[in-house]
Homo-oligomer: A and B are copies of this chain.
Amino acid sequence: MSRQTISHEDGAIYEFTPDLEPIATVDSGAELTIETRDSLDGAVQSEDDIIESVPEEVNAATGPIAVEAAEPGDVLRVEIEAVRVTEDRGRVITIDGFGLLDGYDEIEAPRSRITPVEDDSIAFDDLEVPIDPVVGTIGVAPADESYTTLVPHDHGGNLDTTDVTGGNTIYFPVFQEGAMLAMGDSKAAMADGEMCGTGAEIATAIDVTVEVIDDPNVALERPLLETDDAWKTVASADTLEQACKLANLDAIELLAAEHGIDETDAYAFSSLVADLEISQVVDPLVTVRNAVPREYLADPF
């Protein structure tokens, strides 16, 4: 089966809603290349292109893609084989009213900086940063509420999580028939935290394999990440403290089920081995991961 390409020119959304209409329908097991434009829809091509305030529409997510036979209660497995940058520059910007240090005297907003692509790096002035792409926004149709692509929640969305990259796999709960996968908002590089509000925003082509897991052994409430080293629960909430609680509760549930221990022992054990990690601190809800090393957790599905 050849790899099917689905482009943002075929369709892209700025809101994850419960009733999305697909631009494509694929089988479970399909290999896809998803083409995405940058989060600002190309508005910043030079350092003179300034974004005065957060645009009403950002983070265009290519899709939605219906996956045949995906039903509520299933899990959608999205293996990310590779993320390639497909334009010659990224951009990192400050916007008034956005970012960790919004309102601090030292910080000027708006400002746009262009990060040209040079072989395997981007340049920030004379500093080189290795290209290490991140898919910022990825998710499925939510259960009841609608969320713009600026917001992360249980359906995924604007998770801005560095682990969403080539070589890793992300799992979503399926809330609606066909799941309705969409993704975009890639970065050529981004730090955990995404402090100024962006990474190096850039167009990409993302190779994925999508697969429906029916009758999963665990009921997934939120996204879950699989990396070479760890299984990582992912939770978004109003505060980092609240997101930490949700991410830790999800990790505890997985550990308790795997080892036949109660939640209190799983909690104590997590405090020895399961690192809490920051995804992003700038979106309307903030996102945290709880990483359980693979030696303590087999495939939970």
Contact = CB atoms under 8 A, between A and B. Distances in A.
Interface stretch (A25-33, A149-157, A209-217, A271-279): A271-279
Interface string A189-213: 1111111111110000000000000
B108 A272 contact: no
A272 B200 contact: yes
A14 interface: no
A134 to B, nearest CB: 11
B272 A92 contact: yes
Contacts of A113: 265, 268
Interface in A223-254: 239-241, 244-245, 248-249, 252
A107 to B, nearest CB: 5
B264 A108 contact: yes
Contact of A276 (B93, B189, B270, B281): B281
Identical copies in the complex: 2
Contacts of A241: 100, 239-240, 281, 286
Given A106-B263, A264-B108, A267-B94, A272 B189 contact: yes
A273 B191 contact: yes
- Identify the interface centre among A263, A270, A276, A281: most chain B CB within 10 Å of its CB: A276
Given A101-B252, A196-B268, 20 more contacts: A92-B269, A92-B272, A94-B268, A100-B241, A104-B249, A122-B272, A124-B268, A127-B259, A127-B269, A190-B271, A191-B270, A191-B273, A193-B290, A195-B267, A196-B271, A240-B241, A240-B244, A244-B278, A276-B281, A278-B288
Contacts of A111: 264, 268
